[in-house]
Amino acid sequence: MKANELRTREVADLEKHLIDLLREQFNLRMQRGTGQLSKPSQMKTVRREIARVKTVMAELQAGKQS
């Protein structure tokens, strides 16, 4: 999901999306540990998506404080 799409979402929705991504990251780490990870590039994709969501959340919070 692109950052522009994330900026249109509500904070509560972003938090839920972040929790889902963190769970997915955990599951991918477990798969990697047991040797069952079929697409290693998926780890990078999820990690970047988490960073993207956190960045948008920080922007929204900074906008409220100004």
**CA-to-CA distance for 3 and 56, rounded, in angstroms?**
7
| Sign, Cα dihedral of 55, 12, 2, 22 | positive
pLDDT tens per residue, range 21-53: 999 999 999 999 999 999 999 999 999 999 999
By residue count, the chain amounts to 66
pLDDT at 66 over 70: no
Question: So what's the pLDDT on residue 63?
Answer: 85
Domain boundaries, the chain: 3-65
pLDDT tens per residue, range 16-29: 999 999 999 999 99
Question: So what's the pLDDT on residue 64?
Answer: 80
| Mean pLDDT (whole number) for 6-23 | 95
Q: The domain at 3-65 falls in which architecture?
A: Orthogonal Bundle (1.10)
